[in-house]
């Protein structure tokens, strides 16, 4: 299969090994400009709420091993029943509990002996010697470590946690998780400088270690253990169950889209022999430099074979995917994007294809899940672009709604 490439860019031209291809540079925030929300609404184009955290994958679990489940529940009960000075001498609410639980899951998987004998140890990965030595003996006891977290939080360890203690609504989960990650865990990549306070854009989290995993774990902890916090817990809307996983009803936020794409990239091995059958979701092997998963058609194939009732074995490049899908019975979306539609772009030597993960008509942006054979696997991800660009005649769409396993998303 031929190498598949990205889209038109206003800013730069990249030369790949075999041919030239134009590239769109993802944009962080696009203004609404001349976009007409009523047009998209009347054409049944879904849009997502960029600050929504209410719809989470309730079938997922932050349990990484059978033995860790009891530790998770014990920690959740501790945080929601123990008074903390910063919280007005009251227990943590559901959002605060979930934010710190998400960090513990990422740091240690709730294993009190994680890293024992190394430089960082325990559920928070305290530096050892140092903070680790201040924990009561036996140091590997979960309750002793939880009590030491209370001691540090009550004592104002490291940076300000005002945004953590002020968080209460489900929409505050990002802010609370950021505060714990940035100002208590201090999980910062190298020596980069990032804000000490939450801002609703990528700059706040770009320098944090494993931010996508931390917020995903926090969202699941909220849904799993939030009821322990009583009246402070607001059950979220259940996401529409699709296939063996979940798609967020109506489209994804950037965080959820990134997590979705990280799951795709986790499939192993990354490069199957050409023509291989029976690989996860029947992704065809390719000779892409970034591996089979770096192929844009492979991503569209993955989405179709995992989430729809149809089976797709591609026989063409990115330009032909939508045409193939229409022949399989998918709905012709013309040039109008829609959440979870598959797109094809016809121009360029091999065209391009990918999945629409979300649309924000207020900001005039579209969230695209995409891969590119000419790029490393690290580039593959959820990228934000101008909605007007993807609403042009350069793009055609195959709607997946009526064929999604679990029915049409509302």
- Confidence band (pLDDT; 50, 70, 90) for 362? confident
Check residues 283 and 37 and name the one with the higher pLDDT. 283
**Which part of the chain is CATH 3.90.1720.10?**
13-52+246-403
Question: What is the overall mean pLDDT for the chain?
Answer: 78
At residue 156, the pLDDT reads 79
pLDDT digits (tens, 9 = 90+) for 167-204: 998 878 889 999 999 999 999 998 788 888 888 666 77
Check residues 110 and 9 and name the one with the higher pLDDT. 110
- Confidence band (pLDDT; 50, 70, 90) for 271? confident
Q: Tell me: pLDDT of 395 over 80.
A: yes
Q: Tell me: pLDDT of 1 over 50.
A: no
pLDDT digits (tens, 9 = 90+) for 11-65: 222 222 222 222 333 333 222 233 355 555 555 555 544 444 334 443 333 434 4
Q: Tell me: pLDDT of 10 over 80.
A: no
Q: Tell me: pLDDT of 410 over 60.
A: no
Q: Which two tokens stand for residue 104?
A: 């513990």
Check residues 143 and 220 and name the one with the higher pLDDT. 143
At residue 149, the pLDDT reads 97
pLDDT digits (tens, 9 = 90+) for 300-349: 999 998 888 888 887 678 999 999 999 999 999 999 999 899 999 986 66
**Which part of the chain is CATH 1.10.530.10?**
68-232
Check residues 197 and 275 and name the one with the higher pLDDT. 197
Q: Tell me: pLDDT of 103 over 90.
A: yes
The CATH classification number of 68-232 equals 1.10.530.10
Nearest to 100 by CA among 161, 52, 159: 161
- The arithmetic mean of pLDDT across residues 153-162, rounded, is 85
Q: How many CA atoms lie within 13 A of 300 on its CB side?
A: 33
pTM given for the model:
0.51
At residue 244, the pLDDT reads 36
Q: Which two tokens stand for residue 204?
A: 């706040």
At residue 218, the pLDDT reads 87
- Rounded to whole angstroms, how far apart are CA atoms 221 and 318? 39
At residue 201, the pLDDT reads 66
C-alpha angle 153-228-73 in degrees, rounded to nearest 5? 75
Buried b (16+ CB within 10 A) or exposed e, 248-276: bbbbbbbbbbbbbbeebbebeeebbeeee
pLDDT digits (tens, 9 = 90+) for 208-261: 998 878 887 887 788 788 889 987 877 654 443 333 346 766 788 787 788 888
Percent of the chain with pLDDT over 90: 43
At residue 242, the pLDDT reads 35
CATH-assigned architecture of domain 13-52+246-403: Alpha-Beta Complex (3.90)
């Amino acid at each position: 299969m031929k190498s598949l490439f990205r889209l038109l860019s206003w800013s730069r031209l990249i030369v790949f090994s075999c041919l030239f291809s134009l590239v769109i540079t993802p944009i962080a925030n696009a203004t609404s400009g001349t976009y007409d929300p009523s047009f998209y609404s009347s054409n049944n184009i879904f849009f997502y709420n960029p600050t929504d955290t209410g719809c989470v994958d309730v079938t997922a679990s932050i349990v990484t091993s059978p033995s860790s489940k009891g530790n998770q529940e014990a920690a959740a009960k501790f945080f929601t029943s123990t008074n903390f000075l910063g919280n007005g001498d009251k227990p943590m609410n559901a959002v605060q509990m979930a934010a710190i639980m998400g960090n513990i899951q990422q740091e240690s998987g709730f294993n009190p002996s994680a890293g024992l004998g190394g430089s960082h140890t325990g559920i928070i990965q305290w530096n050892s010697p140092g903070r680790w030595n201040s924990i009561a003996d036996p140091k590997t006891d979960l309750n002793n470590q939880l009590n030491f977290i209370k001691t540090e939080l009550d004592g104002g360890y490291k940076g300000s946690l005002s945004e953590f203690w002020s968080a209460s609504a489900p929409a505050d989960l990002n802010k609370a998780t950021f505060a714990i990650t940035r100002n208590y865990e201090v999980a910062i990549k190298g020596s980069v400088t990032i804000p000490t306070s939450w801002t609703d854009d990528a700059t706040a989290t770009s320098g944090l270690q494993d931010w996508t995993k931390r917020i995903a774990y926090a969202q699941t902890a909220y849904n799993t253990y939030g009821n322990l916090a009583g009246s402070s817990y607001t059950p979220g809307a259940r996401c529409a169950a699709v296939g063996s996983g979940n798609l967020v009803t109506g489209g994804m936020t950037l965080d959820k889209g990134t997590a979705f794409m990280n799951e795709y990239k986790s499939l192993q091995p990354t490069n199957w022999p050409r023509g291989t059958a029976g690989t996860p979701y029947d992704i065809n092997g390719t000779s892409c430099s970034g591996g089979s998963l770096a192929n844009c058609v492979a991503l569209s194939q993955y989405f179709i074979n995992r989430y729809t009732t149809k089976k797709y074995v591609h026989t063409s490049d990115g330009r032909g995917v939508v045409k193939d899908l229409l022949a399989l019975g998918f709905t012709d979306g013309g040039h109008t994007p829609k959440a979870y539609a598959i797109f094809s772009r016809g121009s360029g030597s091999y065209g391009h294809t990918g999945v629409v993960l979300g649309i924000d008509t207020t900001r005039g942006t579209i969230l695209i899940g995409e891969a590119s054979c000419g790029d490393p696997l690290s580039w593959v991800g959820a990228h934000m672009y101008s909605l007007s660009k993807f609403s042009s005649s350069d793009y055609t769409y195959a709607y997946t709604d009526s064929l999604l396993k679990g029915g049409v998303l509302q």
